[in-house]
Amino acid sequence: MVSAVDQETGTRLGIAELRELWAYYGHDLLLHDPGGSAECLVRRGELIASAEVLDPVLDRFRRWVDDVQHDDDLLLARVRLRGAERDRCVDMARETAGLAANHVHFGCPVMYGTPVMYGTGAEAREAPPVPEPPAAQWEPPVVVGVLDTGCDPHPWFRDRPWFEPVPEVLDADDDAGQDRQAGHGTFVSGVLLQHAPGAVLRTQRVLSSLGFTDDYTVVAGLRSLRQAAAARGEQVDVVVLTAGCHTADDECPPILGAELARWSGSVVVAAAGNQGRSRPFWPAALPSVVAVGATGSDGAVAEFSNFGPWVDTAAPGVAVTSSFVRMTGGGGRKFGFASWSGTSFAAPRVAAAVATALHEGRTRADSLDLVRDRYPFER
């Protein structure tokens, strides 16, 4: 069973509890093979089809199709099923080439004192201020794409010439309290900037402030990042992904793998996940992606970090301090610092090292060799 440790209580919660948590907020998610080797979470009754196979798919499944949503830019369609077939979406996808379930991706924090994702609801414990990263501007630019919850105009970012705010959604469920993963992207961006102060950050919001996303949304974010870079005439040198998923067949979701194959000129870095397991976590487990585990202050791999031959590197990911945004009364925002733990915060550390190596004139291959030597995964 997929699980995560709540560091406030020591309680180990499984994917079923997370599904119930998100269902409370109206998200219809299906737990496939509960407790089994193929356990994964998908959008109930939702299939993804590429444009070239959509017509044959509709011909085969038309009597069970409730709705089809096209995205002409992505050349993808979401096919929504009706009735009892909604619970068969994973099996139906297995039976049909070019068709896939829409897997749910989890954000990857294990919280120490910050808003707790896994169950306690504890208030944030403010972290001491850390020095603002230098106002550097590398030439030529090194561009890092960050796919997360957004990036607020924290003082660390707002006066930098490249900054384009992607405001955090702090209270998506409208319960007058900050969501458990709100501020995550601002935090991740701060980790990057602490260790690569001259980098240009380009942010795409793909991760919900409740802590999850899906294949379709991540692919849409990657393609939007690619298209925006082309419009600016710039190259995205490094991409950071801080969420991931398990699948029924332990293979990468097809649309995600196909999209990442288009990023061969960039270094893609992804969090290895926090389940403390060796089961592949996608997209981190792709050979073309740098998978990052987390280490503690003693340099040992953190208990919560995923592991296995597919994990490439491990960087500090326990009690990391970085920029944070906090909701105040009346819907205001307060900028400060927080302490957070997880492979989500180890991944930007490695991405920053890659960006710095590229800035220093190293090739992509040499940069990868450098980070594997500097941040080896040893368990």
d(CA 147, CA 320): 19
Q: What are phi and psi of 231, to 5 degrees?
A: -65, -30
Burial code (b: 16+ CB inside 10 Å, e: under 16) for 57-70 equals: beeebeebbeeeee
The helix (run of H) or strand (run of E) holding residue 369 is: helix 364-374
Burial code (b: 16+ CB inside 10 Å, e: under 16) for 298-310 equals: eeebbebbbbbeb
Check if the beta carbon of residue 71 is closer than 8 Å to that of residue 77. yes
Sign of CA dihedral 198, 294, 268, 321: negative
Q: Which residues are catalytic?
A: 148, 184, 344
The residue among 208, 213, 154, 152 whose CA lies nearest residue 180 is 208
Residue with tokens 């499984």: 14
For residue 268, the one-letter residue type is V
d(CA 95, CA 84): 17
The helix (run of H) or strand (run of E) holding residue 227 is: helix 215-232
User: CA geometry: angle at 206 spanning 205 and 209, to 5°?
Assistant: 85
